[in-house]
Amino acid sequence: MANAAIVILAGTESHSDLGRLVNGLEAAKEFDENADDELELIFDGAGTQWIPELEDEGHDYHELYRSLSEEAAVCDYCANAFGVDDAIAETGVVTVDENGGHPSVRSLVDEGYEIITF
């Protein structure tokens, strides 16, 4: 059994950002497919910009994202800072704000989660 928190920090500006997103989603999928594992998938910082893009059915990685969307959460503060808060609110993806508007990484570590960033 493993507890993993996959944190997507990569923005949407470059091909390498897309690569980090896909690697993060693939890693999340691997944990999600193991019934004994616990997964947290968090879009934080510039990574919050991915949610509106991935919600588009025409996006190349929409299906991969949709297979994990019930596990997804978004930093409330960063969604606002990157101007995607309204678009995210329309999707129903959960926003997290336990630490001054941000996800609490410390709480995840305290709960035994390995933090993996992309």
SS3 category, 94: strand
Task: Report pLDDT for 82.
Answer: 98
Q: How far apart are CA 67 and CA 83, in angstroms?
A: 25
Cβ 24 vs Cβ 46: under 8 Å:
no
Give me the mean pLDDT over the 21-44 stretch: 98
- pLDDT per residue as tens digits for the range 53-112: 999 999 999 999 999 999 999 999 999 999 999 999 999 999 999 999 999 999 999 999
Q: How far apart are CA 25 and CA 33, in angstroms?
A: 12
Whole-structure pTM over 0.85, yes or no?
Answer: yes
